[in-house]
Amino acid sequence: MNETTPQARTGTARETVLSRVRDALALAPKDPVAVPRAYRTGRTLPDAERLALLTDRLLDYKAYVHPCTAARTAATVAEVLRARGARLVGVPAGLDRAWLADFDGEARTDCPDVPAPELGELDGVVTASAVTCAETGTIFLDGSADQGRRALSLVPDLHVCVVDLSTVTVGVPEAIARLVPGRPTTLISGPSATSDIELERVEGVHGPRTLDVVIRTDV
């Protein structure tokens, strides 16, 4: 009696799927398809209105918002970290250290050699941001030196993110237009959260349980 091994069955299934993909590609039109891009672009709002819209969206996502002037950045960041009881925070290598001038705890500079599980020892992380969309309350991180790798803002339970109001756009098309193509972009809309089968909200499952957004209103 012949038996088919699991490996053989897997190989057969893979070949079947790939064969069907090849057949579909062979039947597909050869000419490139023109995708309509008639998005609403170029929308603007006065600073006060963009700030109000973004604040409303962030609060709706259960994030915490801390508006401040550029001169108050260090004081505001320190106040947030103190209120959260954070004594050991991770920071990207390119973060402006002046933002931590009033922080009396330890700031540990991250690097790719640090294993991701060790990031769990941090009380929180402080990063900058690339772009933010007011309409959706979404913060974009693009892996720049002042934002760090994805793991740094994913593993710790607290994320303090500094946003310059000048980088806040009205809508998504305007935000996307400011991004650098090819960069590893992460989109954050509030703290990490999901719902179980009974639609009970559970926070901190896939990332930080707490998101504090420091918005510098004059930058």
Q: Does this model's pTM top 0.85?
A: no
- pLDDT tens for the chain, 219 residues: list them: 455 555 555 568 889 999 999 999 888 888 888 888 888 899 999 999 999 999 999 999 999 999 999 999 999 999 999 999 999 999 999 999 999 999 999 999 999 999 999 999 999 999 999 999 999 999 999 999 999 999 999 999 999 999 999 999 999 999 999 999 999 999 999 988 777 777 777 777 778 999 999 999 999
CB crowding 158-180: b at 16 or more within 10 Å, else e:
bbbbbbbbebbbbbbebbbeeee
What one-character DSSP code corresponds to residue 157?
S
Cβ-Cβ contacts under 8 Å for 66 (sequence gap 6 or more):
76, 79, 80, 212, 213, 214, 215
Cβ-Cβ contacts under 8 Å for 153 (sequence gap 6 or more):
125, 127, 141, 147, 159, 161, 186, 188, 207, 208
66 in Cβ contact with 161 (< 8 Å)? no
- Reported in sequence order, the residue ranges of 87-209 that DSSP labels E, i.e. its strands, are 88-91, 106-109, 124-127, 131-133, 138-141, 158-164, 168-169, 186-188, 193-195, 201-203
pLDDT digits (tens, 9 = 90+) for 208-217: 999 999 999 9
